[in-house]
Amino acid sequence: MAAFFVKRLLTALVSIVLASAVVFAAVLAIPGDPAAIILGVTASPDALSALRTQLGLDVPAPQRYLQWLAGLVRGDLGTSLQYERAVRALVADRVPLSVALAVGAALLATLLAVPVGVFTALRRGTLLDPLVVLASQVGAAVPSFWLGLLLILVFSVELRLLPAGGFPGWEAGALAAWRALLLPVLALGLGQAAVMVRMTRAALLDVLGQDYVRTARAKGLGATSVVWKHALRNAMVTLVTILGLSLTNVFIGSIIIEQVFALPGLGRLALSAIGNRDFPLVQGVVLLYASTIVLLSFLVDLSYGWLDPRIRYA
């Protein structure tokens, strides 16, 4: 177990460093000069080269990457070119919102999808089953940004119940903050729930067809016990995999949702950083995204052993 843990941890670290190198190279590969973007289109060549020097852009790229890595080891992510603030502080400001959004959406999706998925798996062959399957099909096909605009139209413009985007900040109080986050969480979570309903249903149907379920039924166990103790427990490995994937999905999906709802989260920070060729900021945000995804898959892997003792780590 310990050896497995160390091995996975090392793999995770290597993945993160590789991701940062790939992103560094990718940002360099697209044309665009941060100094030109900051100074604007009428800047003189003198002013451009002066700003490049000031921003440290005259240093060769490989050297810049190594400097960045060295800083990373010390916990220093550098300074944003656009905002002239420490990348760590900028990113730290945005993390709570993006985490709240992603966790909220994943939680909503799970709480909605697992019961509905179980329910329809048990009602297989009834009229309800194809209806839910159809609904989830549609739900999975609707893009989250479109759903977001629709929710804004209904709940903000027509009913005037919730703000049409923007974020008052956590200091405005939990109520105000969650009022601003409710629609984005719905927009992001509902589509995810639709996908998860189908997966839960399929996983459970698969397990329900197994011999031990038939045996459990033959022993005379009640339906509740068969489903929740025998079937669902064994479908858990699949479900946790789905949950891990969906957390990753909502984390990525939040980039678009933050744009639609004008939320100051990591996704918008990343987009504006890429647009402005703000190299240190892009690196910092991507590092965080990569670490989160690697961490999530790491946790999912660990949970397998706990959920299913047959999965042994050597």
Partner 1 sequence: MLRHSVWLLSGILALGLLASAFAQTPAPSRGGTLVVAISADPPGWDPTASTSQEIPRVVYGNVFEGLVRFDRHGEIVPALATTWSVSSDNLTWTFTLREDVSFHDGTPFGVDDVLAKFERARDPDSGHVNQQYYAAIEDVSAPDASTIVFTLSQPNRSLLYNLARPDSIIYPAGSAGTQRAQPVGTGPFRFARYVEGSEVRLERFEDYWNPELPYLESVTFRIIGDPNTRLAALQAGDIDLIGAAVPPEQVQLIDAAPDLKTYAGTATTEITVAMNNARPPFDDIRVRQAITHAIDKHAIVEGAFFGQGTVIGTHMTPAEPYYIDLTDTYPYDPERARALLAEAGYAEGLSFDFELPEPYPFERRTGEVIAQQLREVGIDVNLSVVEWGTWIQRIFLGADYDMTIIGHSEPRDINIYANPDYYYQYGNLRIAELLAEAEAAPSAAEEIAAYQEIARIIADDAVNVWVFSPANTVAAREGLYGVWIDQPTPAIDVTEVYWAR
Q: Which residues bind partner 1 (CB under 8 A)?
A: 30-33, 36-44, 46-47, 50-51, 54, 82-85, 90, 93-94, 149, 152-153, 156-157, 160, 163-167, 169, 259-262, 264-265, 268-269, 272, 275-277
- Closest separation between CB of residue 92 and partner 1, Å? 12
CA atoms of 230 and 29, how far apart (whole Å): 53
Burial of 245: CB neighbours in 10 Å, binned 0-12, 13-18, 19+? middle
- In a 13 Å sphere around the CA of 259, the CA atoms on its Cβ side amount to 12
For residue 86, the 8-state DSSP code is B
CA atoms of 52 and 46, how far apart (whole Å): 10
- Closest separation between CB of residue 204 and partner 1, Å? 39
Q: Rounded to whole angstroms, what are the CA distances from 294 to 11, 103, 290?
A: 9, 16, 6
Compare residues 71 and 169 and give the one whose CB is closer to partner 1.
Answer: 169
Q: Are 81 and 33 in contact (CB under 8 A)?
A: no
Compare residues 198 and 268 and give the one whose CB is closer to partner 1.
Answer: 268
Compare residues 42 and 224 and give the one whose CB is closer to partner 1.
Answer: 42
- Closest separation between CB of residue 82 and partner 1, Å? 5
Compare residues 180 and 216 and give the one whose CB is closer to partner 1.
Answer: 180
- Closest separation between CB of residue 150 and partner 1, Å? 11
Q: Are 163 and 155 in contact (CB under 8 A)?
A: no
Q: Are 273 and 80 in contact (CB under 8 A)?
A: yes
- Closest separation between CB of residue 157 and partner 1, Å? 4
Compare residues 65 and 279 and give the one whose CB is closer to partner 1.
Answer: 279
- Closest separation between CB of residue 264 and partner 1, Å? 4
- Taking each helix axis from N to C end, the angle separating 266-275 and 279-307, rounded to the nearest 10 degrees, works out to 140
Compare residues 43 and 205 and give the one whose CB is closer to partner 1.
Answer: 43
